[in-house]
């Protein structure tokens, strides 16, 4: 189980930005800018039980990626708590990192290695023995339909193949929580469907999955729970049915727009 409680993250603005902001009308500034600070995440809370898929929504710049990077231990929260199966991620980030699988927008592969070599390299970094590594490699390659290009070098792969390989390296060590930042963005229909099927395969199991997306049809198809962030604040956290109930006809697009106002919808 994953619990996120009152998560906050602020960044100090550089001197150039501070000087420029002083010249601008106050009404034109981002509401999260406060003197010398930018409050990227102001108050984010949610939970995801084992075997649940949680969709993280929000307009561009809402704080989704910053929140996910804190979940992965890539960023230290300014305030708040992240708990995985009763253990505090913020208090022990290095130890907890081994129990998390995180796919970021910048996750990459070693281009001169094959897909199999890449995935197994990261498995070994997590301390997997060879027998367990080989078994898990076969299982993950089955789920992500990787066998046909498993022995191709990473620099020869299509975008969709690279993303599937990136997800394989993210989960090879059998993490307790999986965090995926926009895993289907920019992919063709077949690759996107393969990744959606992969996410769906975890439903009802032992591992919670959190993924951010701008594609509301993915939320409707995959998610048990929905969290919507706007201006770094949780505007909604609940089940998919509860999210749909925010609109008279259950239209996800209408619910999204009603919760974020006139913000840009990607």
pLDDT in tens, 79-101: 999 999 999 999 999 889 999 99
Contact 3, 210 (CB under 8 A): no
What is the DSSP code (8-state) at residue 114? Answer: B
Residues 201 and 169 reside in one and the same domain: no
Q: How many domains does the chain have?
A: 2
The burial class, CB within 10 Å (0-12 / 13-18 / 19+), for 135 is exposed
Residue 57 is part of which domain span? 2-99+176-260
Question: Is pTM, for the whole model, over 0.85?
Answer: yes
CATH number assigned to the domain comprising residue 201: 3.40.50.300
In a domain, 212, yes or no: yes
The pLDDT, as a whole number, for residue 27 is 67
Contact 8, 43 (CB under 8 A): yes
Residues 64 and 86 reside in one and the same domain: yes
Residues 248 and 212 reside in one and the same domain: yes
Is 33's pLDDT higher than 90? Answer: no
The mean pLDDT value of the chain amounts to 92
In a domain, 41, yes or no: yes
Lowest-pLDDT range of 46-60, 99-113, 168-182: 99-113
Mean pLDDT calculated for residue range 74-79 = 95
The pLDDT, as a whole number, for residue 266 is 42
Residues making up the chain, counted from first to last: 266
E strand or H helix at 181: strand 177-181
pLDDT tens by residue, 143-171: 999 999 999 999 999 999 999 999 999 99
Residues 157 and 208 reside in one and the same domain: no
The pLDDT, as a whole number, for residue 108 is 86
pLDDT tens by residue, 113-149: 999 999 999 999 999 999 999 999 999 999 999 999 9
In a domain, 165, yes or no: yes
pLDDT tens by residue, 213-247: 999 999 999 999 999 999 999 999 999 999 999 99
Lowest-pLDDT range of 13-17, 172-176, 198-202, 245-249: 13-17
- Given 141, 174, 207, which residue is the final one in a domain? 174
């Amino acid at each position: 189980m994953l619990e996120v409680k009152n998560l906050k993250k602020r960044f100090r603005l550089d001197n150039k930005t501070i000087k420029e902001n002083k010249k601008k009308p106050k009404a034109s500034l981002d509401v999260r800018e406060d003197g010398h600070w930018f409050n990227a995440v102001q108050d984010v809370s949610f939970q995801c039980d084992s075997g649940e898929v949680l969709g993280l929504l929000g307009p561009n710049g809402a704080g989704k990626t910053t929140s996910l990077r804190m979940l992965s231990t890539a960023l230290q929260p300014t305030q708040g708590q992240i708990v995985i199966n009763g253990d505090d991620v913020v208090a022990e980030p290095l130890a907890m990192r081994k129990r998390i699988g995180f796919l970021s927008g910048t996750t990459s592969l070693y281009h001169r290695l094959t897909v199999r070599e890449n995935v197994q390299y990261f498995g070994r970094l997590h301390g997997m023995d060879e027998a367990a590594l080989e078994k898990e490699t076969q299982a993950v390659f089955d789920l992500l339909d990787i066998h046909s290009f498993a022995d191709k070098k990473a620099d020869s792969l299509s975008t969709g193949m690279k993303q599937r390989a990136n997800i394989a390296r993210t989960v090879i060590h059998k993490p307790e929580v999986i965090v995926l930042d926009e895993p289907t963005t920019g992919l063709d229909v077949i690759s996107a469907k393969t990744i959606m099927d992969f996410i769906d395969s975890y439903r009802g199991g032992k591992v919670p999955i959190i993924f951010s997306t701008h594609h509301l049809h993915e939320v409707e198809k995959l998610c048990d729970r929905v969290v919507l962030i706007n201006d770094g604040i949780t505007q909604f956290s609940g089940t998919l049915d509860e999210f749909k109930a925010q609109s008279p006809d259950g239209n996800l697009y209408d619910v999204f727009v009603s919760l974020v106002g006139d913000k840009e919808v990607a």
